[in-house]
Amino acid sequence: GAVALAASLPGFAIGVHVRHSGGQDGLQGTVTEAPLGTVDVQYKILEPSEMPIEVYHTNLGKQEYFENCLLRYTQVVEDYADKQLQALALEALDLEAASEDFRNASLWEGRHKERIGKLSNWFYNKYFSWLSGRTCGQCNVQMTSGGEHVVPTQDELEHGAHRVRLFKCPTCPNVSRFPRYKSLKKLLETRTGLCGEFARVFGLFLAALGYEYRLVLDWTDHVWNEVLIDSRWETVDTTCPGYNFKHILRWHMPVVYIVAFGAHEVLDVTARYATNWADVEARRGKDGNFDPKVAKQLIHEADERVRELRGETEPPQWRAQEAKDLDAMRLPGKL
């Protein structure tokens, strides 16, 4: 059943390998919500047949992976329009950030950067928790993870966790599961994750407060937000608020594609963050990457598809100026 389930997941090419056999008992960790945003790990005994099945990703084609990401992140942004989810986000602000009065728009008139900056700091310091690791409840030692993922349970899958990160105790058989939930409702409950979870949930807060928002994906493995303030898209990275409103990357990775996903558009914004556009061009189409002209067309199709779903026929009003700005950042060596 687990093998068939994994094989049926859209966009994933996988192989499976059962890591446990025989009659020994195993331990499975489950993550539960604890006070003050901390994470508690509990364990239950599993029968051998219930042991996790390790998932090995085969060499998924670069183009297929690219298309899959475009689809998945477009779907996440579509969820921001859900009024019930927005109501949950606003309720969280009422319960846990009442002193800042983030919901009172008139109070922040002309002070949007200050509002977003304080909201980001509150989110980072008090609301959402970074997945820094796991401690074995039996040995009291730090558990390790080598990026290993396992097939989700049915409950995890229902909350959009198509993959589950596995942590192992180095001295005993204990393991801890960390489901990579896609469900915004579930993430509002767990309030724990990595950059992807941080950005997805913070995007919901931006939508709930009435801002134009974007979810920004860097294919070298980072996700953050952009928010439209005074007709300009500003960077908001809740994993490192000190870099807010700065169009710079806080890591030194050879970027290839950085794509922004908004309510009205999907746009290649790599030029805004890259320090050397000629280097970006050189990497596109090399090192196993597929034809950049194909990538450009896929982004264009995703961009149009977003507006078709909303019944919109024209790009958003800010697009013309932003396109000019991005073109200028690409010189010399434009695509």
Mind telling me the catalytic residues?
195, 222, 237
Question: CB within 8 A of 152, min separation 6: which ones?
Answer: 5, 161, 162, 163, 164, 179
Would the CA dihedral through 315, 317, 318, 322 be positive or negative? Answer: positive
User: How are beta strands 192-193 and 129-130 bridged, if at all?
Assistant: parallel
Q: Are 177 and 196 in contact (CB under 8 A)?
A: no
Instruction: Find out whether the peptide bond into 173 is cis, omega within 30 degrees of 0.
Output: no
SS (H, E, C) 174-207: CEEEEECCCCHHHHHHHCEECHHHHHHHHHHHHH
Report how far residue 242's alpha carbon sits from residue 62's, in angstroms, rounded to the nearest whole number.
33
CA dihedral 273→239→306→280, nearest 10 degrees, is: 20
Residue 60 per-residue DSSP state = -
Residue 268 per-residue DSSP state = E
Report how far residue 23's alpha carbon sits from residue 146's, in angstroms, rounded to the nearest whole number.
26
Report how far residue 119's alpha carbon sits from residue 238's, in angstroms, rounded to the nearest whole number.
9
